Structures are given as C-alpha cells and as structure tokens.
Structure 1
Amino acid sequence: MFLNSELCVSGLSSDIQNDLIKSIAQVIRDEIKSEINFCEMSVIADETPDISHREQMSVIFRYLTKTGIEERFVGFFDVTLERGADSYRKVY
C-alpha cells in the first residue's frame, strides 16, 4: 500500500519549524537552569545598536561546573524603549 503524499508531514512549513525551534530553545533553557542551580555564576551583559538603530543587549551566563568553566548565551533583548528621553523624565 502506498502512502498518500497529502497525509505525510514534511516539516517544511514555517509553523512546524517555529514550533521545533521553540521546543529546542525550551530544552536548552531547562538544561542551563539545571546546570546553574547550585553554581556560583556571573552575568555578562553588553549593549550595542543594530543596523536599524535599535539597542540590543546580549546576556551571557558564566559559571563553574565539575568539568570546568561554562559560558552560555541566553539571548538578545531589545532595550530601545528603556533608553529614550521619555523614560528619563519619568524618573525625575
């Protein structure tokens, strides 16, 4: 019996690919959380504008494990809104 190609899932749709990426990212985040649970760690944060003049902050965790020092990239975060003149006026 031959399979109907319409019933087969190819995994090429953007929805499936995005779901896979989100699932993999969650597994990686959970692994990092379990590694740093009982470690002393430092956070490295650096901010830079991208080509569209939006401020991007990169965050990295550095910690010591039984096998040595580990560095894990956490992600880029858009911090453009927090840097405008309006945000400074709200403080004063």
Structure 2
Amino acid sequence: MADAGTALLRALTDCAGIRPEIMEAEMTRWSSVTFEGARHRLVIRLPGPAAGRLAKAVAGDAVTPVGHVLADIALVRRVEDAGERMEIEALTVEG
C-alpha cells in the first residue's frame, strides 16, 4: 500500500511535466468489504505553466497511477504565490 502514494506522485509529475515541490503529504489506509486503498492529501508547489497542465489533467481525469485505480481526485485549492500552491485529494484502490 505504501506504493500508492509514490504511484500517485509519479502520475502527477507526468501530468505536470516536472516534479512538484511537496509541501505536505498524508496517506490514510481505506477499505471496504471488497476494496483496499488509500486516501491521499497533497499540498504541492509548481511553476504556473506546470500547475496549469496539472489542473487540466486533474479536471479531465487524466491522472493514472500505475498499479492502482484512481477512484477519485480533486483539486481542492489552488493559490498563486511563489509558483502555485495546489491542494489535491485523491482516493486510490489497489488494482
């Protein structure tokens, strides 16, 4: 399950075109009767163009972590400061 966070970060990096600066990262295990997965909360910083690419990918469901199913992803907050700070929440399920 620890790989879910890494897989999600790699998928976000692929969409943005560069690796984001990670400001905060949380992962909480999640399960139902039939699925196991994790809830993720990331606060990252990216330069403007990369932030724009990532925001479009999140909105268009184009984020695909290898080895896990992305059940849900949302751009919760986007703030422009030194770069753009973005808060992303996601739910991954083992695939």
Length-normalised TM-score, structure 2: 0.34
More strand, by proportion: 2
More helix, by proportion: 1
Length-normalised TM-score, structure 1: 0.34
